[in-house]
Structure 1
């Protein structure tokens, strides 16, 4: 089958404005510096120092140390003079509906749009032989967060220099610990969506599952919820020649692994996508010894928010039932990590409209781009309407198509300028239209 995606080598960069194209060398430089100094969640001190230093150079107001290493920058637009704002206020008052007390509704304050970028890396040893290879042993930016940070910095710089082009406020959130244990929730609890209150939020993920020159955007569920569990099966060990004297934890665990697959196959509506993955199973010390215990770790993923709580209950029912039938017992630990990423219809429409201006259409827009991967951007989207989208970054012609979390992951840095263009146009369209 012939691919319907654009060829990365034929991407039309004229759609990126000259001022942003001129930023491309700096974007690459920032990204590569960040790539050389990757840091794990809540340990991003060097990254935060670099981001803060740049924001200070550009005289952008910002707060540091939020949720340990997070940063929030605030850029206030001045694209409308007081007379224009007053005229708009008058028009709104003229069209306003009287309240129950007979008074007209208050004039809306200027809108606030937030942009979120994650800044943490992964515990992976990099195998790329490039000049900007990770200098931190066992830690690597293997998911593109270095690119996200560079794009957010480029957006901040451009907006600060072009504040006349929008009239509201932009908050740029540099968030730690997306990979684990999650920095979005503690940042929200620290008040990053307040003072001024955020009306909408957007974010992007560089995505090597899509080629350079594409944008994946859709309303509704984009990424899955993820829940986790650890379970220890407690049997009775013994000699491999005398199984009748034992309760074989390996056999019990094997039955549980198979039975867990029936949850999706027979308990979940076929219209709803879900997956249960047992990723770890450890038992035994020698071939002729029946294991006393078996330990397993697993993840559960789904899109439909109404399934929250269902898997927890069903997983334990299956484990308890099988253990009882074999005479074993169990110890189960189950917890929810991230909810699903649910995009707001109107903000998704805004992003798609912008994407149509930045990439070639229709083949450059990928509306059905769901993935069972999870993201704690979901916590922001539970608080305010917003949209998270994918920016294609793979280029097989340059050997830049390894998947995320691979030790040879890298991406086509041309996507950096495209990401800034996407964010800037979203800001201009949202804060002018609203």
Structure 2
């Protein structure tokens, strides 16, 4: 550990090159074939035991000299269906697909961490699982778990990093307890009766019904839920109509429901019932039919208090200061939550927001980019937390 910063500095060029390569060739969930092969071959060349899990997922196992605990380090690999507008020299070459959430950086950081930790193999007591997860944006973690990824050897603790532009470069966001929201998605179709806009009385307008539904759903979070419990109900897409002078036959909507409840299972059931009650009531009142489908995504992400302590210690050793740790939570969904519901876990945020470098755009924005100078911190945090976890007897 004495020369850790020097080792990382020597590998920083490779780290950035890997990130830029992944950024140029982004792949959607369960289509990460190129990324997966690069990761697989890289880990294999390090002498690790490597296998594919959940289609395009990759797991590399580093076994130490002596038996002990097993720690899991996780990175996500998938990109988003987004058209990139950054104009970067390494911008996406796959039209309509973009790394707009930092997963390219996550993958590169964990690969370099695996290379460094492989050099410490003879000093490691226990095992390290390097998990490169597919399809994070649509809940791929559960598929890996269902294929036994947390077993053989059994994982005793899990850590993940998210590069995060809402935090300034140099900051690190850490908190215990629920830190990211549970997420439920929905698809809704409102069907009316098509007709001429000059004779609206002969038709049934699903667009008018849809606008009433969208507005009325907001009353649930402001009038029916305890204001101390964070919740957002958002419609992210709407599609209906074929012409300016034609009353549409149907409207298709899609959105998300995010929440942080104490009794998550019970309160979620009540919440979904409230949502359908509003949709059903407006549909009956306006003479339209509805078809509603809820799509389970992930539970809330829970950070274990002991794991938080490992990260805080590593943060001080990595950054060399103790005033850059921010207690941070947000309402985004993250399927690392599936791991956190099963083993002691933590996901924490490495700040990437830099106005001068233009890395201050929100996640999922077509201008999103990361501050590459912070990637080295992620590598060091991975290495320090893994070794501290394995060396601690508790």
TM-score (norm 1): 0.84
2:223 is equivalent to residue 266 of structure 1: yes
Q: What CA distance in whole angstroms lies between the structure 2 residues aligned with 1:135 and 1:290? A: 40
Q: What CA distance in whole angstroms lies between the structure 1 residues aligned with 2:94 and 2:283? A: 45
Give the superposition deviation at 1:289: 4.0
Give the superposition deviation at 1:115: 0.5
CA contact (8 A) 1:276 1:298 kept: yes
* Paired position in structure 1 for 2:343: 384
* Paired position in structure 2 for 1:427: 386
- Could you tell which deviates more after superposition, 403-412 or 424-433? 403-412
Deviations 1:61-103 (A, max 9, x none): 211x31111111111223x6xxxxxxxxxxxxxxxxxxxxxxx
> Of 105, 121, 131, which residue of structure 1 is paired with 2:79?
121
> Of 340, 343, 366, which residue of structure 2 is paired with 1:407?
366
Give the superposition deviation at 1:333: 1.3
* Paired position in structure 2 for 1:72: 59
Give the superposition deviation at 1:314: 1.0
Q: What CA distance in whole angstroms lies between the structure 1 residues aligned with 2:140 and 2:313? A: 30
> Of 43, 51, 66, which residue of structure 1 is paired with 2:31?
43
CA contact (8 A) 1:214 1:359 kept: no
Q: Secondary structure at the match of 2:68?
A: coil
2:110 is equivalent to residue 152 of structure 1: yes
Alignment of 1:98-113 (within 5 A): 110-113=68-71
Give the superposition deviation at 1:225: 1.5
Q: What CA distance in whole angstroms lies between the structure 2 residues aligned with 1:232 and 1:73? A: 43
> Of 16, 40, 49, which residue of structure 2 is paired with 1:61?
49
Shift in alpha-carbon separation, 1:275–1:15, aligned structure 2, 3 A: farther
Give the superposition deviation at 1:432: 0.9
Q: Which runs of 5+ in 1 are unaligned?
A: 1-13, 81-108
* Paired position in structure 1 for 2:15: 27
Shift in alpha-carbon separation, 1:165–1:212, aligned structure 2, 3 A: farther
TM-score (norm 2): 0.92
Q: What CA distance in whole angstroms lies between the structure 1 residues aligned with 2:221 and 2:362? A: 26
Kindly tell me the number of residue pairs found equivalent between the two proteins.
389
- Could you tell which deviates more after superposition, 266-275 or 248-257? 248-257
Q: What CA distance in whole angstroms lies between the structure 1 residues aligned with 2:24 and 2:108? A: 13
> Of 272, 283, 289, which residue of structure 2 is paired with 1:323?
283
Shift in alpha-carbon separation, 1:175–1:231, aligned structure 2, 3 A: same
Shift in alpha-carbon separation, 1:130–1:280, aligned structure 2, 3 A: closer
Give the superposition deviation at 1:360: 5.0
Give the superposition deviation at 1:185: 1.1
Higher-Rg structure is 1
CA contact (8 A) 1:16 1:417 kept: no
**Aligned-CA RMSD value:** 2.1
Q: What CA distance in whole angstroms lies between the structure 2 residues aligned with 1:331 and 1:20? A: 54
Deviations 1:300-344 (A, max 9, x none): 111222432222211111111122222332111122112221111
Q: What CA distance in whole angstroms lies between the structure 2 residues aligned with 1:16 and 1:73? A: 21
Q: What CA distance in whole angstroms lies between the structure 2 residues aligned with 1:115 and 1:322? A: 47
